[in-house]
Amino acid sequence: MQQYRFLKIVTQVKIKYMEELKKFIEGQRVVLNRGLVATPDNRENLESFAKANHGSMDILLMQMAIQFGYKMALEDVEETVGLQS
């Protein structure tokens, strides 16, 4: 009986923190989509922008790459903990 209660409590805690993690990731995605610099949807878009600008606007390209890396990291966390939307 005690073991069942313990497992129930652990499950409730896991659900609570998974919900919090999901809210955090969704919030971060919103921030990435509303920034001054667009976050590329995929690597191909980032590479095509880099190729098209021929070295000009490197600061913009750098920021896009940083944001894309952050987006990829969030997706990896979602995949690892099973929170895919």
What does the pLDDT read at residue 47?
86
What total of structural domains would you count in the chain?
1
Domain assignment of residue 25, given as a range: 2-81
The CA distances from residue 24 to 11, 35, 39, 56, 80, in Å, are: 20, 17, 18, 34, 15
What does the pLDDT read at residue 49?
84
- pTM of the full structure: 0.67
What does the pLDDT read at residue 69?
92
User: Which tokens is 29 given?
Assistant: 């995605």
What does the pLDDT read at residue 73?
92
Q: Which residue ranges of the chain lie beneath pLDDT 70?
A: 55, 84-85
What does the pLDDT read at residue 9?
83
What does the pLDDT read at residue 72?
92
